[in-house]
């Protein structure tokens, strides 16, 4: 799911050019890490950061920060 600031910006009818981050969430942590990794690879992103405790993969593409996060491990 696309969550956070981007959907809020759509509702508030803000300009797309002002969006600087995209947050994705999933109830399936392993799958969201795979998806984030595959997209980073497809876009040519080098060295995405993976945080296993929070099941998050994070990277920046064209000045837009992208976070893919599953539910916390535990």
For residue range 6-15, list pLDDT tens digits in order: 888 888 888 7
- What is the predicted pLDDT for the residue at 72? 55
Residues shown for the chain? 74
What gap in Å lies between CA 13 and CA 26, rounded to an integer?
25
Residue closest to 1 by CA, chosen among 34, 33, 30, 32: 32
For the record, the structure tokens of 3 come out as: 């969550």
What gap in Å lies between CA 21 and CA 67, rounded to an integer?
8
Q: Taking the model in full, what pTM does it have?
A: 0.81
């Amino acid at each position: 799911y696309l969550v956070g600031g981007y959907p809020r910006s759509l509702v508030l009818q803000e300009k797309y050019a002002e969006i600087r981050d995209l947050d994705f969430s999933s109830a399936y942590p392993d799958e969201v890490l795979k998806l984030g990794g595959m997209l980073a690879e497809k876009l040519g992103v080098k060295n995405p950061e993976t945080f296993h405790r929070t099941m998050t993969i994070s990277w920046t593409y064209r000045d837009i920060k992208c976070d893919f996060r599953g539910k916390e491990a535990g």
